[in-house]
Amino acid sequence: MVEICPQAILARGTDQPGMDALLECTPGTTARPDGDWDLIEGELMQFDRPERDVPLIDLLEEFRADGQGLYYRVLTTVNTDAGPQTAWTYIREREHDGRRLHPDATGTVCWRPVDLIS
């Protein structure tokens, strides 16, 4: 699961992903927030037909706009080779057991085998 700083959430997903995809929002800061936050490395995917494709990912991620699903879909700022951009991502905003992945020497968290989770 991924958690992000609440101030990094630019918008929240609705039950209309096609409309969500049209949302234009100026990217926020990509600076690491104060506190115990790590940088996350991931993949950025772009869809030609988000109104068709995003609902399928919402099902996979158990996102429900009413907040009763496993994850929330939120718009946040991501750092790319082309500079800061906004992207929808799935996060968890509920209690968890405190385990986390370890950042590498650059402070970035990369997905690793489960035995490296503390």
Q: How far apart are CA 28 and CA 76, in angstroms?
A: 8
pLDDT of 117 reads 45
Region 97-117 average pLDDT: 64
pLDDT tens sequence across 33-60: 888 787 788 888 888 898 899 999 999 9
pLDDT of 110 reads 66
pTM for the full model? 0.77
Region 9-14 average pLDDT: 95
Q: Which of 62, 52, 42 is nearest to 18 (CA)?
A: 52
Alpha helices per DSSP H over 1-118: 17-22, 50-60
Region 9-13 average pLDDT: 95
Query: Does the pLDDT value for residue 17 go beyond 60?
Result: yes
Answer whether 72's CB lies under 8 Å from 93's CB: yes
Answer whether 58's CB lies under 8 Å from 50's CB: no
Q: How far apart are CA 26 and CA 70, in angstroms?
A: 28
* Phi and psi at residue 71, to the nearest 5°: -125, 165
Q: For all residues of the chain together, what is the average pLDDT? A: 83
pLDDT of 89 reads 93
Phi-psi label, residue 14: left if phi above 0, alpha if psi -120 to 50, beta otherwise: beta
pLDDT of 9 reads 93
